[in-house]
């Protein structure tokens, strides 16, 4: 018997494990579907480009996307201790203050910007900033990058040439501008939610981690969550009981999947799969929101990119340099700089984010291109298109049906095309003239809106930021309340990115960790689920 069972050792789940187990009188179990984070590729910053395979990744695919040429798009999500924080590019972005104030305006009291800022500060050990917006002493190390590629410096200069100001802290007073990203690293190694929150507590007598444990069902008795069934090592079915709460932290894909498997969700969908309806909750799996990326890639006229640094003798040289000195290309997060800009004067805050990747990173890094190149990724920060996550099968080992419904709203395409135009302007600026040989994608022959639209439909991808499928609120489609308690049930919460009612304006790693911090505080303050 445990007091708390946490399902999912990702961004929020690791935080919950740490904060709830700091009371030695409380027994905590953390279940993770993936294995331990023992691979050196996880901990070497540049290693994430090699983590697109199955071992540490769910390797999901979407259903055919109606507005994106019917493509079944690759949809990677972390499957290891740390979840996606163990396989991502380590970019530290909080989002815009208006994102959280909007949550409050939707009826989510206690979730405005001034409400969540203390939790961002609580989690942070920022090596550079200590001010109104940042702090030191938290578990998560945030730092400047140890290496900056010449192409990245050209990117920052090029935005300034376009009239975009340099902003040293896009997580501070203002988000607008171009910046060198801060990253979640410590001593030239990745700082994941697992290394920050779980590794330091592994010897606590009241805390246990079980890996390779796929949760198959939350058991409900008399309207209360009392236990979790899980499948261990692919075939052994086991049950763990919770005396106080079950906390679902599987992320925006796996959390609704588990609720549905447990008989919690839209009754008609559950009946389709012959699952007993224990609690008709129509919002489970709905409200899926995600950032969609589009590439602008160019061939370089000189060997300045990171392309090829992971092959042959250069790989050996870089590996030795990293092992001996903790310097060199292996320390790179690859996505070294970015900017937040506005698609028009009519929007109140930045709605386009552009990443600079000084390497060929196309098709999630799976497409091999010879020579040196640079990739500019651009995404619409506040898409209006809404999708869903549903079951494809009642088998817990089968993937769910993921439908981001990209570009369903015509407004999204309008902003996406503006982002593509910005990417092209950046690469055509004077700062890039010494480095760029020719445009590779979309290709200089594609100039009209029609041609660029077709390119977007064929080459766009996820930016790995799904949220919203167990949204917080008080309307008919809300799944959790402002205490993150599943509405209509006792002893059950959801604490992860799935509770976001709307998508934040930036990368979702830091907000997900913040949700873990605030969720833990809500639980410990006595707000029983």
pLDDT digits (tens, 9 = 90+) for 181-196: 999 999 999 999 999 9
CA distance 469 to 389: 7
3 state SS of 526: coil
- Token pair belonging to 194: 């697992």
Over 80: is that where the pLDDT of 52 sits? no
Separation CA 529–CA 514 (nearest Å): 20
Q: What is the mean pLDDT of residues 507-521?
A: 98
What does the pLDDT average to over 483-510?
Answer: 98
**What is the pLDDT averaged over residues 57-75?**
97
pLDDT in tens, 384-402: 999 999 999 999 999 999 9
Phi first, then psi, for residue 445 (nearest 5°) are -75, -15
Percent of the chain with pLDDT over 70: 99
Instruction: Give the pLDDT band of residue 140 (cuts 50, 70, 90).
Output: very high
Please name which of 358, 448, 417 lies closest in space to residue 158, comparing C-alpha atoms: 358
Q: Which of 302, 311, 354, 348 is nearest to 329 (CA)?
A: 311
Q: What share of the chain is helix, strand, coil (3-state, %, to 5)?
A: 30, 25, 45
- Secondary structure, 3-state, 352-406: EEEEEECCCCCCCCCCCCCCCEEEEEEEECCCCCCEEEECCCCCCCCCCEEECCC
- pTM of the entire predicted model: 0.97
pLDDT band at 282 (very low <50, low <70, confident <90, very high): very high
- Residue 529 pLDDT: 60
Range in 3-12, 304-313, 441-450 the model is least confident about: 304-313
Decide if pLDDT at 154 tops 80.
yes
Average pLDDT over residues 52-68: 91
- Read off the pLDDT band of 150 (50, 70, 90): very high
Cα–Cα distances in angstroms (integers) from residue 243 to residues 141, 314, 404, in the given order: 34, 55, 36
**What pLDDT score does 117 carry?**
98
Q: How far apart are CA 212 and CA 33, in angstroms?
A: 5
The Cα–Cα gap between 143 and 128 comes to: 7
Burial label, 9 (beta-carbon count in 10 A; 0-12, 13-18, 19+): buried
Residue 234: is its pLDDT beyond 90?
A: no
307-321 average pLDDT score: 87
Confidence of residue 365 (pLDDT cuts 50, 70, 90): confident
Instruction: Based on the residue annotation, tell me whether 465 is a catalytic residue of this protein.
Output: yes
**Of 279, 355, 372, 465, catalytic:** 465
User: What's the rounded Cα separation, in Å, for the pair 433 and 154?
Assistant: 9
Under the banding of pLDDT at 50, 70 and 90, the label for residue 349 is: very high
Mean pLDDT, the chain, whole residue set: 96
- pLDDT attached to residue 527: 63
């Amino acid at each position: 018997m445990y007091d708390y069972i946490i399902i999912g050792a990702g961004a929020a789940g690791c935080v919950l494990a740490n904060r709830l187990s700091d009371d030695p009188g409380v027994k905590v179990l953390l279940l993770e579907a993936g294995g331990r984070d023992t691979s050196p590729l996880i901990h070497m910053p540049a290693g994430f480009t090699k983590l697109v395979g199955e071992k540490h990744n769910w390797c999901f695919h979407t259903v055919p996307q109606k507005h994106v040429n019917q493509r079944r798009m690759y949809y990677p999500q972390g499957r290891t201790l740390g979840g996606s924080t163990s396989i991502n590019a380590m970019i530290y972005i909080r989002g815009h203050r208006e994102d959280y104030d909007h949550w409050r305006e939707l009826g989510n009291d206690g979730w405005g910007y001034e409400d969540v800022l203390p939790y961002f500060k609580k989690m942070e050990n920022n090596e550079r900033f200590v001010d109104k917006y940042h702090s030191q002493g938290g578990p998560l190390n945030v730092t400047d990058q140890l290496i900056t590629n010449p192409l990245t410096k050209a990117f920052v200069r090029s935005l300034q040439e376009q009239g975009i100001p340099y902003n040293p802290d896009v997580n501070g007073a203002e988000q607008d501008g171009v910046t060198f990203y801060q990253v979640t690293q410590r001593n030239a190694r990745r700082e994941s939610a697992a290394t920050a929150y779980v590794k330091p507590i592994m010897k606590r007598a009241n805390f246990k981690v079980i890996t390779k444990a796929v949760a198959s069902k939350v058991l409900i008795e008399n309207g209360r969550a009392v236990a979790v069934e899980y499948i261990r090592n692919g075939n052994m079915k086991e049950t763990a009981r919770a005396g106080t709460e079950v906390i679902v932290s599987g992320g925006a894909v796996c959390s609704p999947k588990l609720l549905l498997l447990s008989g919690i969700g839209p009754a008609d969908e559950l009946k389709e799969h012959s699952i007993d309806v224990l609690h008709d909750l129509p919002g489970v799996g709905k409200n899926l929101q995600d950032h969609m990326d589009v590439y602008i890639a160019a061939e370089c006229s000189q060997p300045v990119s990171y392309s090829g640094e992971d092959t042959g003798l250069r790989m050996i040289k870089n590996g030795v340099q990293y092992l001996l000195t903790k310097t060199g290309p292996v320390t790179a997060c690859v996505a070294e700089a970015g900017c937040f800009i506005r698609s028009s004067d009519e929007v109140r805050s930045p709605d386009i984010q552009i990443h600079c990747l000084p390497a060929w990173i196309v098709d999630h890094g799976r497409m091999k291109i010879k020579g040196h190149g640079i990739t500019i990724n651009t995404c619409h920060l506040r898409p209006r298109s809404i999708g869903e996550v549903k079951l494809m099968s009642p088998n817990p080992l089968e993937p769910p049906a993921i439908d981001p419904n990209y570009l369903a709203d015509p407004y999204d395409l309008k902003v996406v095309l503006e982002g593509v135009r910005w990417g092209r302007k950046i690469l055509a600026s004077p700062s890039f003239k010494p480095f760029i040989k020719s445009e590779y994608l979309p290709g200089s022959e594609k100039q009209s809106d029609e041609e660029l639209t077709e390119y977007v439909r064929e080459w766009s991808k996820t930016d790995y930021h799904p949220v919203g499928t167990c949204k917080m609120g008080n309307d008919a489609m809300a799944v959790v309340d402002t205490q993150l308690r599943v509405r209509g049930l006792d002893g059950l919460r959801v604490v992860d990115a799935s509770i976001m009612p709307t998508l934040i304006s930036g990368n979702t790693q830091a907000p997900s960790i913040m949700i873990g911090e605030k969720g833990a505080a809500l639980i410990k303050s006595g707000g029983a689920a």
